[in-house]
Amino acid sequence: MLKIMLMRRTLRAVTALTVTLAVAVTGSVGGGTATARADEAQSQSLFYNHAYAVVDKETADAIENSDYLRRFANFEVRTTTGGGMTWKGRYLYGRETYIEFFGEGDLPGQDALFGSSGMAVSTENAGDLVKVTDRLKALGVTDPAEYRQTRNFGDGVPVPWFDTIRTTGDQYDAFDAWAMEYLPEYFADPRSKTEPASRPGDVSRERYLPDTYRDRMMRDVTALHLAVPQRDLANTVPLLKAGGFAVQTLPGGIVALRGGTRIQLDAVPRERAGLRRVEMSLNQYLDHRHEERIGRSTLAVGPGARAVWTFDGPK
């Protein structure tokens, strides 16, 4: 949905949390039976919201101009202004989750490079972001970076959009992960075109996204696989744990389970970073397989109620 580079610049002065992958994963995750029981007892406060990826220009152009994607998903190419930044994204929306694509050179600075990516995990209930912040501090993240994002609908008047926290305000290498909570002021603005609350404190992903997914094949993102620099992975693990994900170690990375979306993050050198794979549920069962080549990626739809989108690695 966005690149909050203004926030990053503003918070560079925040003392960076130095977290090693060994401590973040082994110390916090691999602590044996007691840790596993604590994970089971902790409620799920954060859920996969969306991810963005910077792909090569060929693939970005193919995504933007794909007739098939417009039939497959609630698809949109949109320019957004918020927090002092303007960005053009290519979006595939589901019922509660979505994914966004940039092309190389679409964004300034290091974020223009192939392989840059980010991921937002969000709350469903107002006030849960405070609980996550408290859990982060209990995990040793003593000074999480907090920021309020606004959105401009074109009249120059910023509307409060959502609050965010990160484990650190330091510059990331290629992967930016944050937790967020949508704000009541945004839902109350008719220009947001969001749904009414279904319960007190409803700040859910489903309320935020339109129901247009019902007229397409894609329903939701069920799995995400990204390759990210090791420092960025280490800074992400406490955020996932504080949100209630069950974080397990893999050779060279981690997988986060619970919440409806499987998140796999591999630790790689910066030049090998990037989106590898997205899995999606479908609104209908297919008895055949359709394969669509989109730039340097392949979208396989069916058989069954599942689609898998794989992306070629760096050239």
Distance in angstroms (rounded) separating the CA atoms of residues 237 and 74: 31
In this prediction, residue 86 carries a pLDDT of 75
Write the pLDDT tens digit of every residue in 272-286. Answer: 999 999 999 999 999
85 pLDDT above the threshold of 90 = no
Structural tokens at position 302: 């069916």
**What would the mean pLDDT of 94-116 be, rounded to a whole number?**
92
C-alpha–C-alpha distance, residues 298 and 109, integer Å: 28
Distance CA 102, CA 302 (A): 26
For 56, residues 6+ apart whose C-beta sits below 8 A from its C-beta are 103, 104, 114, 295, 296, 315
The answer to whether the beta carbons of residues 307 and 218 sit under 8 Å apart is yes
Per residue in 235-274, pLDDT (tens digit) is: 999 999 999 999 999 999 999 999 999 999 999 999 999 9
Please tell me the distance from the alpha carbon of residue 197 to that of residue 270, in angstroms, as a whole number: 42
Percent of the chain with pLDDT over 90: 77
> So what's the pLDDT on residue 18?
36
End-to-end Cα, the chain, rounded Å = 26
CA neighbor of 194 nearest in space, from 212, 180, 183, 210: 210
**Helix (H), strand (E), coil (C) string for the chain:** CCCCHHHHHHCCCCCCCCCCHHHHHHHHHCCCHHHHHHHHHCCCCCEEEEEEEEECHHHHHHHHCCHHHHHHCEEEEEEEEECCEEEEEEEEECCCCEEEEEECCCCCHHHHCCCCEEEEEECCECCHHHHHHHHHHHCCCCCCEEEEEEEECCCCCEEEEEEEEECCCCCCCCEEEEEEEECHHHHHCHHHCCCCCCCCCECCHHHHCCHHHHHCCEEEEEEEEEEECHHHHHHHHHHHHHCCCEEEEECCEEEEECCCCEEEEEECCHHHCEEEEEEEEEEEEECCCEEEEECCEEEEECCEEEEEEEECCCC
Q: What average pLDDT does the structure give for the chain?
A: 88
Average pLDDT over residues 46-62: 97
pTM (global) more than 0.75: yes
- List pLDDT tens digits, range 8-48: 433 433 333 333 444 344 443 333 333 333 444 468 999 99
